[in-house]
């Protein structure tokens, strides 16, 4: 019994230490969610106005540009998948990967080749384990992305959309990320960044049905779109990175809270088992003492006779 009691106590100490770690991680994630939400809210006005400007230029000109013009027969597409660098966030990364897999299957069913770009070590590890080709990848900033990180990610994607497909370029650019809805709800979503759908852009900016002003472009509308293209892609990627960061912290907080609660329940269960083992040990000791006393009494009575 004594050995069993020591096992229970050792397990209780180990789980108690784990509970302290998960509780600390839960509190850290909760504090970071607020900062991430503020960054998402701060990035939205710029992204909205930039999309509105691109829509106005595209509507006021007949210029064919990679930003707004769809290929007649698209043959190649690029997917940017945003995952996390660290684990312990529940199904956050796996949900985004599954969404990317579904998007890849849909694009291939349409007869398009797919190039995959990945942000986050979890996505890189997933594709690396399966020995699947990755066009480019970035790691080390998923929990707190900066605008410079978005620019680094956007660079190869902009080059790919500007190249002809015969030279290794792509006709479409899609992004898969986790949308932050609330502290309890985060959804893995995908969307096409390029070419920009004017109807969808009007819905996003709230300009549906709005009469846009006429513009004269100098030197040309194409030059204006060339200048807006990198800014548009960078802003969309930055917003997706911020949304994903907020979702990652919310998912980690929820996972760590669940782990902390489970650790507490396990400690209570082990404590009951330890108490039962200790009680059984005490009962056995009492039985041995009583038995020994009875044997001594019987031996004394026999010697008196």
Max avg pLDDT among 144-153, 188-197, 200-209, 220-229: 144-153
What mean pLDDT comes out for the span 158-180?
Answer: 89
Q: Between 302 and 32, name the one with better pLDDT.
A: 32
What mean pLDDT comes out for the span 131-160?
Answer: 93
Q: How many residues are recorded in the chain? A: 305
Structure tokens at 4: 């069993």
Contact by Cβ (8 Å): 85, 140: yes
What's the pLDDT band for 98 if we cut at 50, 70, 90? very high
Strands (E), the chain: 76-82, 113-119, 136-138, 172-180, 186-194
Task: Indicate if the pLDDT at residue 205 is higher than 80.
Answer: no
What is the domain partition of the chain in residue ranges? 2-17+258-304, 23-257
Contact by Cβ (8 Å): 81, 123: yes
Task: Return the half-sphere exposure (C-beta side, CA atoms, 13 A cut-off) of residue 236.
Answer: 29
Class of domain 23-257: alpha beta
What mean pLDDT comes out for the span 46-62?
Answer: 75
Task: Indicate if the pLDDT at residue 206 is higher than 60.
Answer: no
Token pair 């190649």 in the structure block, residue: 76
Alpha-carbon distance 287 to 292, whole Å?
A: 8
Neighbours of 305 (CB within 10 A): 4
Q: Counting Cβ atoms within 10 Å, is residue 293 exposed (0-12), middle (13-18) or buried (19+)?
A: exposed
Neighbours of 162 (CB within 10 A): 16
Q: What is the pTM of this model?
A: 0.82
Structure tokens at 192: 């096409």
Task: Indicate if the pLDDT at residue 1 is higher than 70.
Answer: no
Alpha-carbon distance 254 to 181, whole Å?
A: 14
């Amino acid at each position: 019994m004594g050995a069993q009691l020591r096992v229970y106590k050792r397990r209780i100490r180990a789980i108690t230490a784990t509970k302290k770690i998960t509780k600390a991680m839960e509190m850290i994630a909760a504090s970071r969610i607020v900062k991430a939400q503020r960054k998402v809210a701060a990035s939205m006005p710029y992204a909205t106005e930039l999309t509105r400007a691109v829509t106005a230029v595209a509507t006021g000109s007949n210029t064919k540009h990679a930003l707004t013009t769809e290929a007649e027969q698209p043959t190649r597409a690029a997917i940017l998948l945003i995952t996390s660098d660290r684990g312990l966030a529940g199904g956050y990364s796996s949900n985004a990967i599954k969404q990317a897999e579904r998007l890849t299957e849909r694009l291939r069913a349409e007869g398009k080749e797919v190039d995959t770009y990945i942000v986050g070590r979890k996505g890189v590890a997933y594709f690396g384990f399966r020995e699947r080709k990755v066009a480019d990848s970035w790691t080390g900033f998923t929990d707190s992305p900066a605008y410079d990180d978005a620019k680094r990610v956007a660079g190869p994607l902009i080059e790919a959309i500007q190249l002809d497909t015969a030279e290794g370029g792509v006709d479409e650019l899609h992004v898969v990320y986790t949308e932050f809805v609330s502290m309890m709800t985060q959804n893995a979503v995908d969307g096409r960044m390029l070419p920009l759908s004017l109807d969808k852009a009007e819905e996003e900016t709230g300009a549906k049905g709005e009469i846009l002003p006429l513009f004269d472009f100098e030197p040309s509308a194409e030059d204006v779109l060339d200048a807006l293209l990198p800014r548009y892609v960078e802003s969309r990627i930055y917003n997706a990175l911020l949304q994903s960061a907020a979702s990652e912290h919310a998912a980690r907080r929820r996972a760590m809270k669940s782990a902390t609660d489970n650790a507490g329940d396990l400690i209570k269960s082990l404590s009951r088992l330890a108490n039962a083992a200790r009680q059984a040990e005490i009962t056995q000791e009492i039985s041995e003492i009583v038995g020994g006393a009875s044997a001594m009494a019987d031996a004394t009575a026999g010697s008196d006779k």
